[in-house]
Amino acid sequence: MKQYKIGYTTGVFDLFHIGHLNILKKAKEQCDYLIVGVSTDELVMKYKNKLPVIPFQERMEIVEGIKYVDAVVPQVDRDKFMAWKHLQFDAMFVGDDWKGKPLFVQVERQFAEVGVDIVYFPYTPGVSTTLVKEKVRM
């Protein structure tokens, strides 16, 4: 397993669950310093057309409280290359459910040009914010 100096991952982190914790823990195992981008409510509205259940500031505080996280930043857009220009991370950690999606095919090309790795982690089966919401509605 390759070790990185600075790692980066992003997410909405709404209704925090074990899948969220798994990606943060696995990311921290592979880097000295983990930066986490938390999607703003405005960004989530743009691409999901709905607001998260937990407000942005509270989601930021929840993620800041996780022992694997060294820094939390707002994710105001989905441009991962612009995030890299600002944060200068060595690796980005992502769930493998994003592998092959147009957003990450482009990011992989851009990151390859500047020597940044994308590390895909297996998606935690049987859990997602959508599933949590469905269980609560039952």
Kindly give, in sequence order, each residue whose CB lies less than 8 Å from that of residue 121, ignoring residues fewer than 6 positions away.
Answer: 22, 23, 26, 27, 93, 94, 95, 96
Known catalytic residue at 50: yes
Cβ proximity of 15 and 44 under 8 Å: no
What pLDDT is stored for residue 31 in this prediction? 98
Q: Select which of 25, 26, 28, 48 is catalytic.
A: 48
What pLDDT is stored for residue 107 in this prediction? 94
What pLDDT is stored for residue 133 in this prediction? 56
What pLDDT is stored for residue 1 in this prediction? 81
What pLDDT is stored for residue 135 in this prediction? 57
Each residue's pLDDT, cut to its tens digit, for the chain (138 residues) gives 899 999 999 999 999 999 999 999 999 999 999 999 999 999 999 989 999 999 999 999 999 999 999 999 999 999 999 999 999 999 999 999 889 998 899 999 999 999 999 999 988 766 666 665 565 665
Phi-psi region of 115 (alpha: psi -120 to 50; beta: other; left: phi over 0): left
What pLDDT is stored for residue 65 in this prediction? 98
- The pTM of this model reads 0.91
Q: Select which of 2, 50, 67, 135 is catalytic.
A: 50
Known catalytic residue at 26: no
Cβ proximity of 7 and 89 under 8 Å: yes
Domain ranges (residues) in the chain: 4-137
Q: Which CATH number fits domain 4-137: 3.50.50.60, 3.40.1670.10, 3.40.50.1820, 3.40.50.620?
A: 3.40.50.620
What pLDDT is stored for residue 127 in this prediction? 63
Using CA atoms, how far apart are residues 80 and 101, in angstroms rounded to an integer?
14
Q: What is the DSSP string of 21-73?
A: HHHHHHHHHTEEEEEEEEE-HHHHHHHHSS--SS-HHHHHHHHHTSTT-SEEE
Burial of 31 (0-12, 13-18, 19+ CB in 10 A): buried
